[in-house]
Amino acid sequence: MVGLFLVLLGVVGLTFLLHLAAQFFRKPVASRLFGEMPWLPAEWSGPAAEGENVRFSTPDGVRLQGTYLKTMGARRRGVIAFCHELNGDRWSALRYTADLRRRGFDIFTFDFRNHGGSDRVAGYEPMPWVTINELYDVRGAIDYLCSRGDADTAGIGLMGISRGGTAALCAAAEDLRVRVLAVDGAVPTEQVQLCRARGALAHVLRPLRLSAILPDAMLRTPGAWLMRFIGWRGHCPLLDVDEAARRVRQPVLLIHGRHDAHVPLEAVVSLRSLMPRQTRLWVVPHACHTRAITTAPEEYRRRLARFFCRTLGVAIHVDAAHPETPRANGSRGNGAAHGAAVAVSAIAEKPLPVAAR
């Protein structure tokens, strides 16, 4: 009798699971878990009439197109590499960095592979998620900037939008030449998939009301397999953004729209919790994905300028929460010293001067 009962219990359980799977896969929201996101249009900007156009190579041999825009100020505060969003190109930098150039920063902007004037890689279709290809592209940009005759030996700053910013975060996690990082509209792959999985299960398990009480650990393992599936389908491995965030030691500014329909705010809040304590998150009211600069343009420029002026242009010290990081010496030395995890020295709030022309 016990054996018969176990068989019947197994049949009932299997029937329930098959019914659950059928309900899950016929829901449109569930299909979005498998790498599908709405096409994210990028606002087009015309090319700059000035700047030094260059070609450089990535570690895997792809040739990328870039433009080096020198500061309009009398002296250079630092160098910032700009990483554009999916479906954009290097000229997206113009609307984000014009004020930074006036304040004394050189800007280097480049086209990711399969974008703009850079090489096309056969068989690779860019996705909203960050892959090893985007990491190679950012690495190539950093290598190029550090090889220039006018390179800043103290290191560089990175700024990126959406997928480009997330790729910059992954690059900063492993490269001490990056001193500081600003990301607008980060796309933390694991956190976004976790939010979507919970949302999809809420539709499927609504009668049982179980989705809200399921622990994250139960959803992370299938999420990891899902990431592998997406990478396999796209012929390119996806990066572990959570793991990269844990290894970031530089000062970071995260910018995110409260009404972002593509990347839930809770996903970015979770990402922030993995990063060092000097990381700052600015949530922009009423802003959608990567639209903070149009929603609050003056505040956006002011916060961005203050962040870079205080991190690339002032003395720094190590965050005591991460003692494994080498200590910076306060003078402008090599990139390794300044690229370590640092916290900005406290500075009183005051208006930032525009560098003299």
CATH of the domain at 99: 3.40.50.1820
Same domain for 27 and 56, yes or no, is: no
Q: Report pLDDT for 191.
A: 79
Regarding whether 89 and 19 lie in a shared domain, the answer is: no
Name residue 284's amino acid. Answer: V
Closest CA to 33 of 218, 209, 190: 190
pLDDT of residue 198: 65
Same domain, 73 and 172: yes
Number of domains in the chain: 2
Check residue 210 and give its pLDDT. Answer: 54
Instruction: Please state, as a whole number, how many other Cβ atoms lie within 10 Å of the Cβ of residue 59.
Output: 12
Assess contact for 186 and 268: CB atoms under 8 A. Answer: yes
- Which residue in this structure is represented by tokens 């009301």? 209
CA dihedral 203, 204, 207, 212 (to 10 degrees): -70
CA–chain centroid gap for 236, Å, is 18
pLDDT of residue 46: 74
In a domain, 211, yes or no: no
Does residue 16 sit within a domain?
A: yes
Regarding whether 120 and 25 lie in a shared domain, the answer is no
Q: Are residues 143 and 264 in the same domain?
A: yes
**Statement to judge: residues 60 and 25 lie in one domain:** no
pLDDT at 328: 36
Residue 38 included in any domain: no
The answer to whether position 112 is within a domain reads yes
Q: SS3 for 109?
A: strand
Same domain, 153 and 271: yes
Separation CA 214–CA 17 (nearest Å): 16
Q: Could you tell me if 138 and 269 lie in one domain?
A: yes
Quick one: 26 and 62 in the same domain?
no
Q: Which residues of the chain have pLDDT under 50?
A: 12, 14, 16-38, 208, 314-357
The DSSP secondary-structure symbol of 101 reads H
- Assess whether 314 and 255 both reside in one domain: yes
By C-alpha distance, which of 157, 65, 52, 40 is closest to 105?
Answer: 157
Domain of residue 19 covers 1-31
User: Do 77 and 140 belong together in one domain?
Assistant: yes
pLDDT at 31: 38
Kindly state whether residue 39 falls inside one of the protein's structural domains: no
